[in-house]
Amino acid sequence: DVDFIIHTGKRYVIKDVNFECEDNKLCDIIKKDSIDSYLKPGDGLDYLNYDLEKIRITNLLQNNSYATFNQNAIELYGDSADYKTSLHILIKNPPEDSFRIYKTGKIEIFTDYYPEQTVKSLKSDTIENLVFYHELPDYLINPNLLYNAINLKEGELYRKNKTSEIYNKLSKFAVYRFVSIKTIEDTLNKDKLNYKIYLYTQENKYYAGGDFALKYVTLSKEEQFVQFGGNGSFNHRKLSGRGDYLNLTGSGDIKINLQNNKYSELNIVGKMNYINPISPIAIKFSPLYLYNTLFTNTSTKTLKNKTTTNFSLSYLNQTFLEKFIISSLNANYGYNYKPNKKSNILVNQIGINYLTPQIFDDSLFNVFQRNSMENAFLTGLVLKNLTYSYNSLKKNRLYNYSLLFGLETSGLEILATNKINNWLFDKSGYWQFNKNIGYAKFFKTYIEYKPKYKTSTTSELAGRLFFGLGIPFGDTKVLPYINQFEIGGPYSMRAWAVRELGPGSYHQSISKDEIPFQKGDMRFEANLEYRFKLSYLFKSAVFVDAGNIWTLKSDPERPGGQFTKNFYKQIAIDAGVSIQLDVVVLLRLDLAYKLRNAYPDENGSYFGAKDFIPNIVFAINHPF
């Protein structure tokens, strides 16, 4: 064994930072932006921060038209006394000349490029000094759309970040496999950079794919089942020259109880998405435009370039042990706005969802639950739902996190119109579509926070916090069953089956001919995992989960299910270990133990589970 004894001595700190430039115009730009410097007085000397500062200065000057500026022109030296260092950052000129300010020169776009292509075989069109070349009989994307996406003008000052924006915009067109942007100094005018933009086309307009997953679960001697599922997709990259494309997906899974060889759950989902660039008129009638006007300084043109419209149709069918069926037909029209690499906002402005549950065994549900199984229309005419996602995406950093926020409403506009009509015409009551179908009215929101902390090159600590709440209003007394919160399963409380836990301290006894079906209006959950690498193929994790669901109103047939000030006593806890083998397919084995139940046993204790039997989950293609 070797022991290392390190005496670091006293740490040196930065006394002050001085920028020195052979070209004073460069220092003027750098000093104006010094608030964002990585080198600040009082901070410790850190070579990593010096590297980050060089990157910052390089990007700053390239975004101020000094296109050829590079990090090799930056030098650092310092004067130290009493453990304090005066830093001097020297910006040197190139050996033969000073750094030049560049303007945009000629702009050429090759719209269906491949490496062996020759200019002689191409046809061209010009839109305000932008030259578009194509070899195919027709353009894959309308040149006017490309012109708006590129947004370059000959003679304007060069900016590096604008080139990155152009790349991101052009990469959104599904017909292009790859985008390459090259800038070349003009041979006749040294102060100009000519653009050559190469758009590599996809080999096929169509593509399809799919995968499958298999899961074996043992909850107890009486509860063992196998679940098999799969999904497939078909994509059409070019329906027209407007940059639109079509996505069709289908998925299904079946859960079979091994005690009686009957299926306990069958899910079938089909979905169609039609996606295309947003029109200038539509953007002004979207909630995004209002948000942008009130809270950001983003121009309407930038908002338009970062937004696509989505029209989707989907169908869901869930069959539970031949006891009940839930069918849902859903249509949405909305927008997908991606302001930057880290964030995404999905807004469905208009949406209609038609629910048609069927109950074959009335003894299965109480009155409270049967009310959630009524036929209903879910409507949104101004805002149906909104999803905001954020990922910190910090490379080579110890800490990263993601954030997900969701909001859904139904019946708000219907209720407001209903109330106004009642007031104008001295009426009362609530509108219904017909005597058997009402309009569901509720508000639902959730937030999920997932941090990750890298503890070493082969291990990390991963966490998750989730909170969700749904509130019915108007004549809707309970959330539709499909919109309620459920808990349990391999990505939730892993010692319990999906929909087995809760609500609150209520406990549903499950026989081999029954299935868990508990849901609630509120959900809280926390998960913590320590993930580590065992070998080249094997990974492992130890985990702990805590959480439950609750109802907002009292349900006499599910005592203990309502959320109260004593909710903390109903938090269930489990812990376990997981092993993952990554070969041709991903194999995963989980062992999850119930440490604390949400309800007391006959002795009044919440801790410990009968026989301490783990929930065993063996799964294919189910990653951590």
pLDDT digits (tens, 9 = 90+) for 205-250: 778 888 777 766 665 555 677 777 888 888 887 777 777 778 888 8
Kindly indicate the confidence band of residue 514, based on its pLDDT and cuts at 50, 70 and 90. low
- Could you tell me the domains of the chain? 13-91 (3.10.20), 103-201 (3.10.20.310), 278-448 (no CATH)
When the pLDDT of each residue in the chain is averaged and rounded to a whole number, the result is: 86
Angle at 525 between CA 366 and CA 453, to 5 degrees: 165
Q: Of 509, 541, 534, 506, whose CA–CA distance to 520 is shortest? A: 506
**CA 520 – CA 331 distance, rounded (Å):** 25
At 385 the pLDDT is 93
At 320 the pLDDT is 75
Q: Which ranges in 475-608 belong to alpha helices (H)?
A: none
At 440 the pLDDT is 94
Structural contact between residues 407 and 385, judged by C-beta atoms closer than 8 angstroms: yes
Structural contact between residues 119 and 133, judged by C-beta atoms closer than 8 angstroms: yes
Q: Of 442, 444, 568, whose CA–CA distance to 504 is shortest? A: 568
**CA 258 – CA 477 distance, rounded (Å):** 38
For residue 50, which amino acid is it?
Y
At 430 the pLDDT is 92
Residue with tokens 């004593």: 566
pLDDT at 611 over 70: no
pLDDT digits (tens, 9 = 90+) for 164-211: 889 888 888 888 889 999 999 999 998 999 999 999 998 787 788 887
Kindly indicate the confidence band of residue 321, based on its pLDDT and cuts at 50, 70 and 90. low
Among the ranges given (86-90, 114-118, 353-357, 509-513), the one the predictor scored with the smallest mean pLDDT? 509-513
Q: Of 526, 543, 517, whose CA–CA distance to 460 is shortest? A: 543
Look at the alpha carbons of 526, 519, 579, 214 in this order and tell me if their dihedral is positive or negative: negative
Structural contact between residues 213 and 230, judged by C-beta atoms closer than 8 angstroms: yes
pLDDT digits (tens, 9 = 90+) for 405-438: 999 999 999 999 999 999 999 999 999 988 889 9
Name residues whose C-beta falls within 8 Å of residue 603's C-beta, 6 or more positions apart in sequence.
none
Q: Of 380, 381, 401, 378, whose CA–CA distance to 390 is shortest? A: 401
**CA 318 – CA 135 distance, rounded (Å):** 50
Q: Of 592, 551, 539, whose CA–CA distance to 220 is shortest? A: 592
**CA 75 – CA 91 distance, rounded (Å):** 7
Give percent of the chain above pLDDT 70. 92
At 369 the pLDDT is 72
For residue 452, which amino acid is it?
K
Kindly list the strands in the beta sheet with 74-81, ordered across the sheet, starting from the edge strand earlier in the chain: 13-21, 84-91, 74-81
For 110, the token pair is 């090759």
* Residues belonging to the chain: 624
Full DSSP string of 58-101:
HHHHHTTT-TT--GGGEEEEEEEETTEEEEEEEEPPPSSSPPPP
For 267, the token pair is 């899910």
Which contacts (CB < 8 Å, 24+ apart) does range 250-257 have?
A: 253/213, 253/227, 253/228, 253/229, 254/227, 254/228, 254/229, 255/225, 255/226, 255/227, 256/225, 256/226, 256/227, 257/224, 257/225, 257/512
pLDDT at 298 over 80: no
CA atoms within 13 A on the CB side of 5: 0
For 380, the token pair is 């949104």
